[in-house]
Amino acid sequence: MNAVVAEITYRAMLGRKRIWLLALLPAALIGMAALLRLIGGPDEHTAVILMEKFSIGTMLPLLGLIAGTGVIAPEIEDGTIIHLLSKPISRPVIALTKFVVAVSLVAVFGALSTFVAAFLLIRDESGVAYGFSLGALLGGVAYAAVFMLVGVLTRHAVTVGVIYALVWEGLVGGYVPGARTFSIQQWATSIADQISSSPFLTSDVSLGFAISAMVVVTVGSLVWAGQRLRSLSLTGDE
C-alpha cells in the first residue's frame, strides 16, 4: 500500500462531479426504500426482491465498474499514470493500493447503502440487512478486482465492463442456470442467503463454492493487473 497513490486516487474519484456517479444509484436505492416505507407496509418479500434485483443485481456491478475502472483506466488513458509508474515503487503495490481504494468506495456506496435501505424497510428482520450488505461487500471486492483488471488490460474498459455487467451478470448469470455458478452476483446472493434466514431468499450456488470462487477471481485479477502494469507500454502498444 502506498499512501500517496491512495490520496491521488481518492481525489480523482471523489473530486468535483465524479462523486455523483458513485452516489446516484445508492441514493436511488435508499430513496426507493424510503418511499416504500412511507407508502406503508414494506414486507420482507419486497425487501428481498429490492435487494436481490436492484442492490446486488444492478447497483453492485455498476458501482464495481465505476470504481474498479475509475481508479486506473482514466490515468492510463491520459498518461497521468506515468507520474506514479516512474517512481521506485513496485507496480503490483500501485495496483493493490488502487484496488483497496476501489473496494473502500464500493463498501461505502454499495454495501453501506444496501444495509441502510434494507434496515429502513424491515429493520433487522430475518437478518436480510446484514446478509445483503455482507454479500454486497464481498461481491464488491470481486467486482472491483475484475473491473480494475479490465481497466488495465484494455483502453475500452467501460464498454467491455458494461457489456460484462449487463450481458453476463444481468442476463446470462441471472437466467441461465449453468452460468449462474460463474456469476459474481450469484456468489454475493449465496453469502446473503447464508446469513439471512428469510424464506424468500434462495441461492443455488453453495457457500463454499462462492467463497472460493471469489478468492480465486479477486486474487487472480489482482496478480494479473499488477503484472500487466509492470509491462505497461507508452508508445503505440495497440
Partner 1 sequence: MTMTTTQATTRHSVVELTQVSRWYGNVVAVNDVTMTIGPGVTGLLGPNGAGKSTLLHMMAGFLAPSGGTATLNGVRIWRNHEVYRLIGLVPEKEGVYGFLTGWQFVLSAARLHGLPSPADAAARALDLVEMAGPKDRRIETYSKGMRQRVKVAAALVHDPQVLLLDEPFNGMDPRQRLHLMDLVRQLGEQGRTILFSSHILEEVERVAQQIEVLVAGRHAASGDYREIRRRMTDRPHRFRVRSSDDRRLAAALIADPSSSAVSLTDQGIEVQAVDFPRFTSLLPKLARDLDVHLWQVSPTDEDLESVFSYLISRSSA
Q: Please give the backbone phi and psi of residue 15, each rounded to the nearest 5 degrees, phi first.
A: -65, 145
CA distances from 7 to 36, 199, 213 (A): 38, 44, 31
Chain-centre distance of CA 165, in angstroms? Answer: 10
Count of residues near partner 1 by CB under 8 A = 31
Give 18's DSSP letter: H
Q: Which is nearer to partner 1, 176 or 232 (CB)?
A: 232
Site map (CB under 8 A) of partner 1, residues 78-117, x = contact: xxx-xxxxxxxxxx--------------------------
The residue whose grid cell reads 475509475 is: 70
**Among 2, 133, 194, 218, which residue sits at the site for partner 1 (rule: CB under 8 A)?**
2
CA 108 – CA 236 distance, rounded (Å): 38
Q: Is 231 in the site for partner 1 (CB under 8 A)?
A: yes
Least separation in angstroms between residue 33's CB and partner 1 is: 33
**CB 65, CB 140: distance < 8 Å:** no
Q: Which is nearer to partner 1, 21 or 85 (CB)?
A: 85
Which residues in 4-33 contact partner 1 (CB under 8 A)? 4-5, 7-8, 11-12, 15-16
How many residues belong to the chain?
238
Which residues of the shown chain bind partner 1 in the complex (CB under 8 A)? Answer: 2-5, 7-8, 11-12, 15-16, 78-80, 82-91, 230-237
